[in-house]
Chains A and B, each alone.
Chain A
């Protein structure tokens, strides 16, 4: 059975993820304040986000539409009526003393996503407001709060415990990332906190009927840490159980520096959130019309895009799949091929560009490589202005400086030499300087052909058009 691959020391890990996604609406979930990241502290704050006495929340329809879009993309049930609840707890970055969320009647229920052939079920996805941000390290003896994030709309996506390994968890998380970025409902940037992940982890014996006691790991803020945190937690639980102890139901915090999870609070000290329906917001009816409208305007999903790229650009399934894994890459490809050859573009993105991205561990958006510029690079390869080898150097230069491809080629004299007369002169000179090799070649040592090509390339610093060099050499030697 495939599942047995996931056993660790005979134990079966069982994992469920809770993923918080910040939605990209213009304004906040319940206030007219702007929803933006990176502004000066406390500048995007409305009376409502401050929790002043007497203020009331008004639901942002944009967030509702984005929630519906996610439901449609995951084949989920969209609620006919959704209800907002209050989750009560005290914290300085929670100005009202409660968070408005959805407990029993979420916007989305019972979805499913395909993770490399495996179905991972989504229990529910619900709308809720984000809290502000507490900062404890700005002043010596005081903590401060930035309320810009207070009231930012979140979609919390709760999976069923269908995941069986840390690697699978990462794949599922990447799949969700892919869906939300394709739907354009979030930038999914984990480093900025616009996608955050908590993991529920337990272990059991493969033939156990019930799951083990789970621990919830909070504060995991990168794909890499998701894998590390879960693997650490699995090993910790195995150690606990194998030494005859019991795993405690608790919340644990992942420390990425020490690569370990630490107990944050045990069940006895768990908050009692005293949930109840928020009386300031009437139950919200989602009409069939609204769902249809969202569906009609639904962005292209990864599978659809992959199919379309295969059809319109004649790509093979693998290449199209790699390009569509990440929406920004697929968009980049489409931008580049407006002017450049598709097959060559795919080859260069999947090969050299991806290698650079992986090596430097950054995203395409963060790099200095722009689609229009990259397109010029491909065009220059296509029309033989530069050779593939030179193109690699040009790409390196673009990667470093973001400089215009045409300027790099011109400035460094990288254009390919395709002038027959010029090449002939060079070839003649090389043949004259290497008479013994010419003799040997003519007497049957055909392997020497490569030697001559190499000499030409050396003399031209690699700029000679290889096809033309071959052609001319053959003519002269035979």
Chain B
């Protein structure tokens, strides 16, 4: 059953929140081999479900009423462990609730657990987690993508119908593509970052992960809100994305990349991309070829700016106030040992890169230049959107890959984000949806929209999903 059917059944009292929760909890247990979760909250979830059943009338109209959900372990949950998949926060219990999880609670969802992820959201394969890698539900020798790998695997394996993720360079869209589900990275500033542990503050954005666009729209209705605790949060009238699905946006002009075949994208992914274009054509949309030669410089810019911000954002993990603390004889040893033992290799690598590009004498050559490239990419998109309604391109270069690829080719992992990063650099909304299969593995494709065009993105994806079945496939 999909999200909409489950919610209807709950609303029609054909199924209780408690039954739905018990089912999700059972599936989570049965599929524990996937390692999709860091924490399970069985007792809490059942209590909460009973509460919702008892107070049914309050929840019947809520977008997520009675629906079990899994939250990426990057969102602080009051009184409940939040680890960011790091040894540094292995036993950290926040004394406050993130806006995203609070909004989801208020929308009637039931948190059954916190999902596994790349440590501090740094990675594209979910292998950097201190709690071990997550397996791809389609093939357990393959990665689910990252960093929201646990959230994606959880939905793909049908443990829950919805989960939350965060996307700094593709961390919602890439695992969605690799797991055959749908995920949306909203416009920077649509969803509050309060209580979401920061990796790269200027790009981090939380968003919905679900099987289909319908569920994404319901989840986004819950997640998006103006929040005066986040100065980068946008103050605007709220939109009912679910309602927006039935709107008619007419025939769209969709931008496609000139020379997309030369970007190193696999044959299977390209084939699926071409056939999706046909479907869009059948839906009455037309294409405009876009010249986006700057695309590949995005990755260079990203891997300067993101580490720079992360090196600063992660400075607070010093063993003084909370989190992991190493035994040490003096202060500088405390810092060095705590951070050397508490952070994994990938995180340390990025802190090093970030500290380097910000240091005196290198700032102009790296950080300033990277910001220039970032502005260039942003203005390129501004230019595109004068002409087109959406940009359409594959989400990933290839399908799910084998574990431990990193060790043989470290740069390949960074290149993984080539097609997702531009939206983050520009702060634009982007959405990945499944659009094909090859070798029994899913493939994803994405739309990038103009600022705050989530309604159009969800509507377009939804209309595609009305005439295709890729999103209904389960492992």
Contact of A448 with B by CB under 8 A: no
Within the assembled complex, what's the spacing in Å between the Cα atoms of A97 and B319? Answer: 11
Within the assembled complex, what's the spacing in Å between the Cα atoms of A276 and B202? Answer: 12
Within the assembled complex, what's the spacing in Å between the Cα atoms of A56 and B202? Answer: 12
- Taking a contact as CB atoms under 8 Å apart, the answer to whether A56 and B84 are in contact is no
Contact of B328 with A by CB under 8 A: no
- Taking a contact as CB atoms under 8 Å apart, the answer to whether B312 and A276 are in contact is yes
Interface residues of A in 186-237 (CB under 8 A from B): none
Within the assembled complex, what's the spacing in Å between the Cα atoms of A45 and B359? Answer: 31
Contact of B212 with A by CB under 8 A: no
Within the assembled complex, what's the spacing in Å between the Cα atoms of A59 and B82? Answer: 27
Interface residues of A in 24-55 (CB under 8 A from B): 47, 50-55
How far, in Å, is B143 (CB) from chain A's closest CB?
26
Q: Say which one of B26-34, B178-186, B227-235 lies at the interface with A.
A: B227-235
Which of A92, A97, A275 has the most B CB atoms < 10 Å from its CB? A97
Q: A50-B321, A53-B92, A92-B331 are in contact. Are A98 and B315 (CB under 8 A)?
A: yes
Within the assembled complex, what's the spacing in Å between the Cα atoms of A97 and B312? Answer: 7
Contact of A376 with B by CB under 8 A: no
Which residue in B84, B201, B318, B331 is a CB contact (below 8 Å) of A280?
B201
- Taking a contact as CB atoms under 8 Å apart, the answer to whether B312 and A92 are in contact is no
Contact of A135 with B by CB under 8 A: no
B197 partner residues in chain A, CB cutoff 8 A: 53-54
Mark each residue of chain B from 378 to 418: 1 if its CB lies under 8 Å from any CB of chain A, else 0.
00000000000000000000000000000000000000000
Contact of B424 with A by CB under 8 A: no
- Taking a contact as CB atoms under 8 Å apart, the answer to whether B230 and A56 are in contact is yes
A59 partner residues in chain B, CB cutoff 8 A: 231
B451 partner residues in chain A, CB cutoff 8 A: none
How far, in Å, is A128 (CB) from chain B's closest CB?
16
Contact of B98 with A by CB under 8 A: yes
Mark each residue of chain B from 184 to 215: 1 if its CB lies under 8 Å from any CB of chain A, else 0.
00000000011111101110000000000000
How far, in Å, is A282 (CB) from chain B's closest CB?
6
Contact of B358 with A by CB under 8 A: yes
- Taking a contact as CB atoms under 8 Å apart, the answer to whether A272 and B360 are in contact is yes
- Taking a contact as CB atoms under 8 Å apart, the answer to whether B316 and A97 are in contact is yes
- Taking a contact as CB atoms under 8 Å apart, the answer to whether A53 and B202 are in contact is no
- Taking a contact as CB atoms under 8 Å apart, the answer to whether B76 and A53 are in contact is yes
A275 partner residues in chain B, CB cutoff 8 A: 358, 363
B92 partner residues in chain A, CB cutoff 8 A: 53
B318 partner residues in chain A, CB cutoff 8 A: 90, 92, 97
Within the assembled complex, what's the spacing in Å between the Cα atoms of A90 and B339? Answer: 12
- Taking a contact as CB atoms under 8 Å apart, the answer to whether A51 and B358 are in contact is no
Mark each residue of chain B from 222 to 247: 1 if its CB lies under 8 Å from any CB of chain A, else 0.
00000011111000000000000000
* Nearest neighbor of A88 in chain B, beta-carbon distance: B312
Within the assembled complex, what's the spacing in Å between the Cα atoms of A78 and B201? Answer: 28
A88 partner residues in chain B, CB cutoff 8 A: 311-312, 315, 358
Within the assembled complex, what's the spacing in Å between the Cα atoms of A92 and B89? Answer: 18
Contact of B355 with A by CB under 8 A: yes
A280 partner residues in chain B, CB cutoff 8 A: 198, 201, 231-232
Contact of A65 with B by CB under 8 A: no
Which of B92, B316, B321 has the most A CB atoms < 10 Å from its CB? B316
Within the assembled complex, what's the spacing in Å between the Cα atoms of A476 and B322? Answer: 91
Contact of A174 with B by CB under 8 A: no
How far, in Å, is B228 (CB) from chain A's closest CB?
7
How far, in Å, is A39 (CB) from chain B's closest CB?
20
- Taking a contact as CB atoms under 8 Å apart, the answer to whether A279 and B231 are in contact is no
B195 partner residues in chain A, CB cutoff 8 A: 54-55
A57 partner residues in chain B, CB cutoff 8 A: 231
Q: A53-B82, A90-B335 are in contact. Are A274 and B231 (CB under 8 A)?
A: no
Contact of A95 with B by CB under 8 A: yes
Interface residues of A in 281-331 (CB under 8 A from B): 281-282
Within the assembled complex, what's the spacing in Å between the Cα atoms of A448 and B311? Answer: 90
Contact of A20 with B by CB under 8 A: no
Contact of B473 with A by CB under 8 A: no
How far, in Å, is B346 (CB) from chain A's closest CB?
18
How far, in Å, is B364 (CB) from chain A's closest CB?
12
Contact of A472 with B by CB under 8 A: no
- Taking a contact as CB atoms under 8 Å apart, the answer to whether B231 and A54 are in contact is no
* Nearest neighbor of B358 in chain A, beta-carbon distance: A274
B193 partner residues in chain A, CB cutoff 8 A: 54, 56
Within the assembled complex, what's the spacing in Å between the Cα atoms of A88 and B359? Answer: 10
Which residue in B94, B231, B312, B363 is a CB contact (below 8 Å) of A56?
B231
* Nearest neighbor of A86 in chain B, beta-carbon distance: B312
Within the assembled complex, what's the spacing in Å between the Cα atoms of A325 and B296? Answer: 64
- Taking a contact as CB atoms under 8 Å apart, the answer to whether A52 and B231 are in contact is no
How far, in Å, is A79 (CB) from chain B's closest CB?
17
- Taking a contact as CB atoms under 8 Å apart, the answer to whether B96 and A47 are in contact is yes
- Taking a contact as CB atoms under 8 Å apart, the answer to whether B367 and A54 are in contact is no
Which residue in A54, A95, A97 is a CB contact (below 8 Å) of B194?
A54
How far, in Å, is B40 (CB) from chain A's closest CB?
21
How far, in Å, is B82 (CB) from chain A's closest CB?
7
Contact of A96 with B by CB under 8 A: yes
- Taking a contact as CB atoms under 8 Å apart, the answer to whether B331 and A56 are in contact is no
- Taking a contact as CB atoms under 8 Å apart, the answer to whether B309 and A279 are in contact is yes
Within the assembled complex, what's the spacing in Å between the Cα atoms of A272 and B231? Answer: 28
* Nearest neighbor of B204 in chain A, beta-carbon distance: A279
Mark each residue of chain B from 76 to 104: 1 if its CB lies under 8 Å from any CB of chain A, else 0.
10000010100001001011101000000
Which residue in B98, B229, B320 is a CB contact (below 8 Å) of A92?
B320
Within the assembled complex, what's the spacing in Å between the Cα atoms of A53 and B85? Answer: 13
Q: A95-B321, A96-B315 are in contact. Are A52 and B358 (CB under 8 A)?
A: no
Contact of B308 with A by CB under 8 A: yes
Contact of A58 with B by CB under 8 A: yes
How far, in Å, is B168 (CB) from chain A's closest CB?
12
How far, in Å, is A58 (CB) from chain B's closest CB?
5
How far, in Å, is A129 (CB) from chain B's closest CB?
14
B75 partner residues in chain A, CB cutoff 8 A: 54
Q: A59-B231, A272-B360, A274-B355 are in contact. Are A54 and B315 (CB under 8 A)?
A: no
Mark each residue of chain B from 293 to 326: 1 if its CB lies under 8 Å from any CB of chain A, else 0.
0000000000000001101101111101110000
How far, in Å, is B85 (CB) from chain A's closest CB?
13
- Taking a contact as CB atoms under 8 Å apart, the answer to whether A54 and B196 are in contact is yes
A145 partner residues in chain B, CB cutoff 8 A: 320
B358 partner residues in chain A, CB cutoff 8 A: 88, 274-276
B84 partner residues in chain A, CB cutoff 8 A: 53
Within the assembled complex, what's the spacing in Å between the Cα atoms of A54 and B193? Answer: 7
- Taking a contact as CB atoms under 8 Å apart, the answer to whether A279 and B95 are in contact is no
Mark each residue of chain B from 422 to 454: 1 if its CB lies under 8 Å from any CB of chain A, else 0.
000000000000000000000000000000000
- What are 23 A-B residue pairs whose CB atoms fall within 8 Å in the complex? A50-B321, A52-B96, A53-B92, A53-B197, A53-B198, A53-B316, A53-B317, A54-B98, A56-B230, A57-B231, A58-B228, A95-B316, A272-B359, A274-B359, A275-B358, A275-B363, A276-B309, A276-B363, A279-B201, A279-B202, A279-B309, A280-B231, A280-B232
Residues in chain A within 8 A of chain B (CB atoms)? 47, 50-59, 86, 88, 90, 92, 95-98, 145, 272, 274-276, 279-282
Further contacts, 15 of them, CB under 8 A, given A92-B320, A280-B232: A50-B321, A54-B75, A55-B194, A56-B229, A56-B232, A86-B312, A88-B311, A88-B315, A92-B331, A95-B316, A97-B315, A97-B318, A280-B198, A280-B201, A281-B231
